[in-house]
Amino acid sequence: MSDTNTFPWGPATGVGSMPGGDARESAKTVTGSFEDFPFLAELPARGPGADMIGRSIGLLVEMNAHVEPSGWRVSDRPGRDTRRAHSWLGEDLDALEEFTQGYEGPVKVQAVGPWTLAAALELRGGEAALGDPGACRDLVGSLAEGLRGHLADVRRRVPGAQVVLQLDEPSLTAVLRGSVRTASGYRTYRAVDRQVVESALRDVVAVHGGPVVVHSCAPDVPFALLRRAGAAGISFDFSLLTEREEEAIGEAVEGGTRILAGVVPSTDAALSDPGGSVMGVRTLWRRLGLNPGTLAESVVITPSCGLAGASPAYARAALAHCVRAARSLADNPE
């Protein structure tokens, strides 16, 4: 894994999803907003296969799935839904390639992590893969293999890119707590052992030779576990931080982990001045006794979560606001 202290992280970036269904327009917005850290946009409004679960299922090797009313379910062979997922991903990559001609620097791509995928993907009987340890192991291997090919494709299309892989794990805390509900809704799946969770994450993280970020916009992000699994950065909704997590952030920063702080609302809202958006980050730094001079090198500013639920105008404004807020943090760390 790349040394996060020397890797050229940009000051601000997005989380992943964007509103609308026009890949070129989204790529143009993203690359125009984040000249130092663009990302491959996801456009779930196009339908199943463009959503984050469907896109990641489309990456799987030797595992197929189709859409049922209840969600994605394992299939014997590739079908229309996975072909659609491949087609939309190709369209999004074409657009990113078009708008990053000559670009050199970090580029972020997102995929759903193994545990959120296991909680979402149904086996043939309708229960989630999460309830079957063997299915979870197969899923980890399939996802790792698929990500290898996907990352190679991104590097080929954007040869100047230093690729950052983001694993989206919004269900991770629920998996660890045993609060993911079964198909009937009356029971929950048993909590997965923390060492098993960590080992699977480490296997997926290991497929990438560059930095890997783990993102969760759920409460109680397991910072220490993610760091042990090899995450170089952790992305989260800053407004959900608990006191216990604040202490974990201090340890993470001192250990060289990048903090992708989601401080800009992800749905339409009045935006404060850029300095006000990062006031909480500055306050946290002071409370933890961290050196204010490390703020700009330790923190990347993002929206609190994906922007799929925002209006196109607000999404553009939110991305621009992230850039201004990051600049405010760098110019006025105290």
pLDDT score at 177: 96
Higher pLDDT, 331 or 92: 92
pLDDT single digits (tens) 109-124? 999 999 999 999 999 9
* Sequence-ordered list of residues with C-beta below 8 angstroms from that of 20, at least 6 positions apart, any chain: 26, 43, 45, 312
Predicted confidence (pLDDT) at residue 1 exceeds the cutoff of 60: no
Predicted confidence (pLDDT) at residue 129 exceeds the cutoff of 80: yes
Highest averaged pLDDT of the listed ranges 236-245, 301-310, 325-334: 301-310
Q: In CATH terms, is domain 23-258 a member of 3.30.230.10?
A: no
Average pLDDT in the 285-291 region?
92
Predicted confidence (pLDDT) at residue 184 exceeds the cutoff of 90: no
pLDDT score at 243: 83
Predicted confidence (pLDDT) at residue 9 exceeds the cutoff of 90: yes
pLDDT score at 7: 80
Residue 162: name the closest of 10, 320, 322 by CA: 10
pLDDT score at 4: 59
Q: Please count the CA atoms within 13 angstroms of the CA of 191 that sit on its side-chain side.
A: 9
Predicted confidence (pLDDT) at residue 3 exceeds the cutoff of 60: no
Residue 59: name the closest of 136, 132, 139 by CA: 139
Q: What is the mean pLDDT of the chain?
A: 94
Average pLDDT in the 146-172 region?
97
177-205: burial string, b at 16+ Cβ within 10 Å, e else: eeebeeeeeeeebeebeeeebbebbebbb
Predicted confidence (pLDDT) at residue 323 exceeds the cutoff of 70: yes
pLDDT score at 2: 46
Predicted confidence (pLDDT) at residue 5 exceeds the cutoff of 70: no
- Which region among 192-196, 199-203, 224-228, 287-291 has the lowest average model confidence (pLDDT)? 287-291
Residue 37 backbone dihedrals phi, psi, to 5 degrees: -160, 65
Q: Using CA atoms, how far apart are residues 261 and 252, in angstroms rounded to an integer? A: 13
Q: How far apart are the first and last CA of the chain?
A: 32
pLDDT single digits (tens) 234-251? 999 999 998 888 889 999
Higher pLDDT, 19 or 294: 19
pLDDT grade for 169, boundaries at 50, 70 and 90: very high
